[in-house]
Structure 1
Amino acid sequence: MTHLEVAVAAPLEQTLTYSLPGNLSVGEEATDARSHIGRRVLVPLGNRRVTGYVVGIPDGPEPSFAVKEIVAFQGDYPLIHENLIPFFRWVANYYHYPLGLVIKAALPGGLAPQSHKILRLAAQPQDLLASVSGQLPDWTGKLAKSGELSPKETASVLADKESKKIAAGLLKGNLVTLDTMLAGDSVAEKNEICYALTDRLQKPSEGIDGSRTSLAHYRQELSRETGVEVKLSEAKALYCLYDLTREHNQPRIPLKDLRSRYPGSVKALAELEAKGMVSRSQSRVFRTPFGCPLPFQPRPETLTDEQTAALGEIVPAIRDRRYAPFLLHGVTGCGKTEVYLRAAEETLALGRDVLILVPEIALATQLEAHLLSRFGDQVVLQHSGLTGAERFDQFYLALSGRAKVVIGARSAVFAPLSDPGLIVVDEEHDAGFKQDDNFRYHGRDLAVLRARHHKSVVILGSATPSFTSYAHALSGKYTLLALPTRVGSRTLPSVTVVDLGGKERKEEKGVIRKELREKLAKNLSLGKQSILLLNRRGFSAVMLCRDCGTPVQCTHCHVSLTLHKGKNKLICHYCGFAIPGQTVCLQCRSTDLVPAGFGTERVEEEIRELLPDARLARLDADTAADRKKFLATLAEMHSGTVDILIGTQMIAKGHHFPNVTLVGVVWADGGMSMPDFRAAERTFQLITQVTGRAGRGDQAGEVIIQTMRPSHYALVYARNNEYRQMFDHELRLRRHPIFPPYVRLTALHIQSRVESDVQKTASSVGAFCRKFIRQEKFQIETLGPAPSPLDKIKDNYRWQVLLKGGDPEQLHKTCVAVRAERNVLVKSGCSLVIDVDPENMM
């Protein structure tokens, strides 16, 4: 009997063994079992059925236990290349995450069906309600009204002790049933009907032009030629099919194109098929996410000396097919993108694949135009901004080898390319490469690992590399490549810092101060474009009660609600909870509330008042959610129909607007006071990146930075574009107390809806870690347990334990020990998440 190793899409640490389905013929079972590796399967797990992935053939003797059969194979082909399985195993081990869930995260959504439980009413509603004593839970009323609960609602009932007890009584009394439902895939291939001419037909004679008279003649020709009576409608359908075949230069023509040419063709084609004059088939249609054509980007005829030198290091490694990590440190506007593209050309010429990662969707659109201009149909996208159907099709194009270039956000690191010879991580410093919930992987780090796995080149590019990456380059772990000057000998913009402190400044009204106001007005009069950065969306950060001073807070999180004036709502940026803009103070019931703080909406409103003739656009998470609108805004910036672009950090990096000569940083202090050891580093990166948007054309640029802390070292170094000085300064600070890159971090996050349970679990986990570390004599420092800086999100209270150590293996073994004791340490209802190399300390 053939056995297969299966990783199930469930929170199960180990893989399981299943046998091939009994309904497979002897011939099929006798085929090479390895051909099943990478395929999706439906398998029994306990009393339910779940999706799994075949990851290998079990070693060793025949199992002593009864091996369950695979219920069915899902799909006709593997979704995972066999050479990626070791990579997935390493990832699962390093990040302490189940292998099946790692693979599930790598695949398009909607491809992991499983069985669900559903509570259904089996008696009269009044009998159900009368049978429950005491106060009725909410779910019983819904069950009585609608007749059944959804799978999610049923799971909630069965997860709650009291509700489960009530449900058991109802099941015993035959008042309800607990049924199993198997959900199918939510995405699938899209096919269309096509028609083709059969070999028995000759081309229409020269005189046939589609007119009624000529078609009548053609009908007679066909009847004589085939010996079958042909109707006029059939002759017209055949002529259209001939015509479209010639125009498109392809044998099979979609029915929709035939109907567009001749609306009456459907019935005629069916009759022609019955007569053997045309053949009908199904052809797969690939749904494209690219939409409207992006502007063509020509290939530069020449490179700068610095670009040539960088490629002189990169290209030999590509040709040698060897693992080689490079850190490409280049100032803004230095031409890093062209280095990526030339390296991609070399890689494709060798028949290998190219993978390009960007930290967010906004940056993917910048590179799309370059890649499509250079490589055309070989390019596909992979990111969360696509529809489920688009992601499925783009995934298949890469899996099948039809596409050779993948560009996407962090999840694209799992792109199903069989032989990536080049992996590029653009803006490698960006924290957006780190997943912040559930499977907490780092896209940049996995890109380096995948390059090692495939013996390929990886380029980490940035104007402001993460200090960890730069330290790796100085130590020799990466090869450092420098592009210190802009293309075309353009100069970096001049920077002016405006101090918002002092009594006179405090009396000024508005968020746009005098210096920036005057520069904006002057730039507008010269017909130039400006960018205003404020890394906070909404109108105001908080609504304060004038009577008691209490801010309006989210009822599900310990954070203030942000006023979004355009929507007239107060919105939580962590859980999405919203209430009307006109509300009352929950503390004293006063209606005298006033907005405090500011966001991009307020900046936009103020600019409209100051410069009523200016054409404005705003890009933040609220306006950029729609890809079409986002692309339209970028197109307007490129065409010059927008004078001032206002936005959050998504406008700060990667964009190339040659007509932008002024950048204003409305408030540079937002991130500097965060309780995070990387706060200064990120402030420096953001200011340096947005500074680089100015002066990328023929005219020099200028930057105005408004701040309450003009002497802060991050701003001083950013003003002068002094990366190395900032790096040296920051690393001196990180020696005492010690932080990365001198040590590695692992955070243990505990959360639950019951605060006391979270606190007890966190204490148990912290005590266990200290005891284990002492026993093993590990050099690890344990910090905490303590409440997280954001101690309540989405009704869950949050605590954390932080481990610091120089030896990754010691940290790993400590986490393995915690996982082994999870059932003892973690109270019921609490969750424990291990975050290796955390980026977000909140």
Structure 2
Amino acid sequence: PGRVGGRPMPPVTVIDMREELQEGNRSMFSRRLHAALGERLERGEQSVLLLNRRGHSTFVMCRSCGYTAGCPHCDISLTYHQKTRMLRCHYCGHAEPSPTVCPSCESEHIRFFGTGTQRVEEELAKLFPGIRVIRMDVDTTTEKGSHEKWLKLFGERQADVLLGTQMVAKGLDFPYVTLVGVIAADSSLHLPDFRAAEKTFQLLTQVAGRAGRHHLEGEVVVQSYTPDHYSVRTAQRHDFEAFAAEELKHRRFMGYPPFCRLVLVTLSHEQLPLLAATGEQFAEALREQAERAGVLAPLESARERALEILGPVASPIPRLKDRYRFQCMIKYRGGVDVAALLRAALAPFTEGSQGKVLFSIDVDPQVIM
């Protein structure tokens, strides 16, 4: 497939941020991206910057004792938002004022770590005085019509830079956008999800397509701490076939779709001991049902129909909104009636006190968090 009008895809430069640091550059912008932004400002052209992480700093820590501000309702760190000077949980919505002293040891050495879109906006204003930036993330697009308002302003060239999360990565067509910068290509690469490489390749490919769509030539600068990963390298070459071949090799070896199907069963409850016990009982009941049906077998076995159960284990985010979370992953292939097996295994848990445990079943899950 080609671009509309036969336009060539823009060249992509991958910057190794480890080398930038070794050579004394401690900025969030590589020297190449900094220079490219300056060039666009001089020529009156526009840029799109992608950072798939909102907020100002991704966590707040005390440098004296190591205390990290966490959500009291979820097992996740709080994100600092500069405009309101609040710490927020992006899962349950909990908010609290940013501390001036450590709640644990009362030290004043509170520091903000990590980079979010607000911090990038702040840094742009320092490096390029007078630069006009439109920031698009969940925090700036909550009001009705705000999404369209920001894009209209950018389309009318009322801003030099469109900075945002993944919502700026696809579907945008602006003739004067000649530079796309990806601040941290690795942000989605190391998530505990077998699709992490695919999602990274997808995002990089989509956002690269925003540059040079009309009469002006485009350029893409991708910053990464893992520049040799195949998802980054194949995205640099716009080579879907090479990415698919490598990714399918990994999926086949690890036994993941499209070489099998998945069902994710997530259990949640306010009491951890009850949840853990129920998880074990459910997994055992499901194994018994699968064995009775003659399908319980490792996927690498020679059987035409095979089903294996992973877990129960704590979910990647083990507590959300005051509920602890465990999960079981079911992997299967062939004509296995998984729905019938699940119905039979779940039957004992719909009565009595164990019925308070919430079961969530996701067939062919897109998110495994």
The answer, yes or no, to whether TM exceeds 0.5 is yes
Deviation at 1:592, TM superposition (A): 2.2
Query: In the alignment, what sits opposite 1:298?
Result: none
User: Could you tell me how far apart the structure 2 residues matched to 1:503 and 1:646 are?
Assistant: 22
TM superposition score normalised by structure 1: 0.42
1:674/1:497 CA distance change after superposition, 3 Å: same
Query: In the alignment, what sits opposite 2:299?
Result: none
Deviation at 1:828, TM superposition (A): 4.4
- SS of the residue 2:130 aligns to: coil
1:825/1:730 CA distance change after superposition, 3 Å: farther
Q: CA-to-partner distance for each residue in 1:368-405, whole Å, 9 max, x for gaps?
A: xxxxxxxxxxxxxxxxxxxxxxxxxxxxxxxxxxxxxx
- Decide which of 549, 557, 565 is 2:82's aligned counterpart: 565
Deviation at 1:549, TM superposition (A): 1.5
Q: CA-to-partner distance for each residue in 1:504-539, whole Å, 9 max, x for gaps?
A: 447422211211010000011111000000000000
Is 1:811 aligned with 2:328?
A: no
Q: Report if the CA contact (8 A) 1:785-1:799 is conserved.
A: yes
**Counterparts of residues 608-619 of structure 1 (less than 5 Å):** 608-619=125-136
- Decide which of 158, 161, 164 is 1:647's aligned counterpart: 164
Which gives a bigger RCO, structure 1 or 2 (Cα 8 Å, sep 6+)? 2
User: Could you tell me how far apart the structure 2 residues matched to 1:607 and 1:491 are?
Assistant: 29
Query: Which structure has the larger Rg?
Result: 1
1:758/1:587 CA distance change after superposition, 3 Å: farther
Deviation at 1:658, TM superposition (A): 1.5
Deviation at 1:607, TM superposition (A): 0.4
User: Could you tell me how far apart the structure 2 residues matched to 1:737 and 1:643 are?
Assistant: 45
Query: Which amino acid in 2 is paired with 1:500?
Result: M
User: Could you tell me how far apart the structure 1 residues matched to 2:335 and 2:29 are?
Assistant: 48
User: Could you tell me how far apart the structure 2 residues matched to 1:840 and 1:743 are?
Assistant: 16
User: Could you tell me how far apart the structure 2 residues matched to 1:506 and 1:537 are?
Assistant: 28
1:768/1:658 CA distance change after superposition, 3 Å: same
Is 1:820 aligned with 2:347?
A: yes
- SS of the residue 1:657 aligns to: coil
- Decide which of 255, 273, 281 is 1:764's aligned counterpart: 281
Query: In the alignment, what sits opposite 1:697?
Result: 214
- SS of the residue 1:734 aligns to: helix
**Counterparts of residues 302-381 of structure 1 (less than 5 Å):** none
Q: Report if the CA contact (8 A) 1:492-1:700 is conserved.
A: no
Query: In the alignment, what sits opposite 2:225?
Result: 708
**Counterparts of residues 256-271 of structure 1 (less than 5 Å):** none
Is 1:794 aligned with 2:321?
A: yes
- Decide which of 228, 232, 239 is 1:722's aligned counterpart: 239
Deviation at 1:659, TM superposition (A): 1.1
Query: In the alignment, what sits opposite 2:302?
Result: none
Is 1:785 aligned with 2:312?
A: yes
Q: CA-to-partner distance for each residue in 1:387-437, whole Å, 9 max, x for gaps?
A: xxxxxxxxxxxxxxxxxxxxxxxxxxxxxxxxxxxxxxxxxxxxxxxxxxx
Unaligned runs of 5+ in 1: 1-483
Query: In the alignment, what sits opposite 1:838?
Result: 365
- SS of the residue 1:549 aligns to: coil
Q: CA-to-partner distance for each residue in 1:588-643, whole Å, 9 max, x for gaps?
A: 34342100001000000000111112211000000011132221110011111111
- Decide which of 7, 11, 21 is 1:490's aligned counterpart: 7
User: Could you tell me how far apart the structure 2 residues matched to 1:526 and 1:503 are?
Assistant: 26
Deviation at 1:503, TM superposition (A): 7.4
Stretch of structure 1 that moved more, 748-757 or 800-809: 800-809
Q: Report if the CA contact (8 A) 1:516-1:664 is conserved.
A: yes
Aligned pair count reads 359
Query: In the alignment, what sits opposite 2:176?
Result: 659
Is 1:556 aligned with 2:83?
A: no
1:664/1:715 CA distance change after superposition, 3 Å: same
Q: Report if the CA contact (8 A) 2:51-2:116 is conserved.
A: yes
User: Could you tell me how far apart the structure 1 residues matched to 2:309 and 2:101 are?
Assistant: 44
Query: Which amino acid in 1 is paired with 2:225?
Result: M
Query: In the alignment, what sits opposite 1:575?
Result: 92
User: Could you tell me how far apart the structure 2 residues matched to 1:676 and 1:546 are?
Assistant: 31
User: Could you tell me how far apart the structure 1 residues matched to 2:106 and 2:344 are?
Assistant: 50
Is 1:682 aligned with 2:199?
A: yes
Q: CA-to-partner distance for each residue in 1:77-100, whole Å, 9 max, x for gaps?
A: xxxxxxxxxxxxxxxxxxxxxxxx
Is 1:741 aligned with 2:258?
A: yes
Deviation at 1:655, TM superposition (A): 1.1
Identity over the aligned pairs, expressed in percent?
39
- Decide which of 733, 755, 761 is 2:272's aligned counterpart: 755
- SS of the residue 1:750 aligns to: strand
Is 1:532 aligned with 2:59?
A: no
Query: In the alignment, what sits opposite 2:115?
Result: 598
User: Could you tell me how far apart the structure 2 residues matched to 1:589 and 1:771 are?
Assistant: 54
Query: Which amino acid in 2 is paired with 1:689?
Result: Q
Unaligned runs of 5+ in 2: 296-305
Query: In the alignment, what sits opposite 2:31?
Result: 514
User: Could you tell me how far apart the structure 2 residues matched to 1:839 and 1:555 are?
Assistant: 27
Q: Report if the CA contact (8 A) 1:826-1:832 is conserved.
A: no
- Decide which of 348, 356, 359 is 1:829's aligned counterpart: 356
Query: Which amino acid in 2 is paired with 1:545?
Result: C
